[in-house]
Amino acid sequence: MRLFTIALAILLTGCTGLPKGIEPVQSFELEPYLGKWYEIARLDHRFERGLSNVTAEYTPKESGGVVVKNRGYLASKEKWKEATGKAKFKSDESVGHLLVSFFGPIYGSYVIFELDNYQHAFISGSNTKSLWFLSRTPTVTDAKKEEFLSRAEELGFKVEELIWVDQSSPE
């Protein structure tokens, strides 16, 4: 049993770390980060596969931490999908490294590594297989897209596999 506990601790710690070469933003403030964000681009993963019109909304929890509400449209089934989770700071609240959970006690890294005046955010998970580009608006300039692509490629993300999220309203 002790070996299992150690193995589980190592596994869970690995999901809450930082990808090599990525540093979370410093002087982070939660209050201006709260609210609605639009997903501009992402690397594919099973939880968002096939979704368009994806948004994330962050609201404070009374007990501390953050409520995370993700929403997206699944055109193949003509319905909206929604998931609500929770987030807490990995350590220091002035560092953009949070832990997010949609599945009870299992948390994963949410690393904000670029933050443009709380209008655009570049986010990774615990490795370079997870990447998101969020914006306060459903569209961004070509220059901002190029900045995201350049930074992501520099950090070792597979930018050729990015999904550019359709943010036009579903019919």
pLDDT in tens, 23-76: 999 999 999 999 999 999 999 999 999 999 999 999 999 888 999 999 999 999
Query: Is 143 a member of any domain?
Result: yes
Query: Is 170 a member of any domain?
Result: no
Question: Coil, strand, or helix at residue 159?
Answer: helix
Question: Coil, strand, or helix at residue 101?
Answer: strand
Residue 14 has pLDDT above 50, yes or no: no
Q: To the nearest whole number, what is the mean pLDDT of the chain?
A: 90
Determine the pLDDT at residue 16.
77
Q: How confident is the model at residue 171 (pLDDT cuts 50, 70, 90)?
A: low
pLDDT in tens, 67-124: 999 999 999 999 999 999 999 999 999 999 999 999 888 999 999 999 999 999 999 9
The residue range of the domain holding 85 is 2-164
Query: Is 89 a member of any domain?
Result: yes
Query: Which residue is associated with the tokens 């608006």?
Result: 137
Domain count, the chain: 1
Determine the pLDDT at residue 64.
86
Burial label for 95, CB within 10 Å (0-12, 13-18, 19+), is: middle
For the chain, give me the number of helices (H) and strands (E)?
Answer: 3, 9
Query: Is 116 a member of any domain?
Result: yes
Q: How confident is the model at residue 4 (pLDDT cuts 50, 70, 90)?
A: very low
Cα distances (angstroms) measured from residue 144 to each of 26, 118, 163: 21, 14, 16
Q: Show the tokens assigned to 53.
A: 């019109």
Query: Is 47 a member of any domain?
Result: yes
Query: Is 169 a member of any domain?
Result: no
Q: What is the CATH number of the domain that holds 126?
A: 2.40.128.20
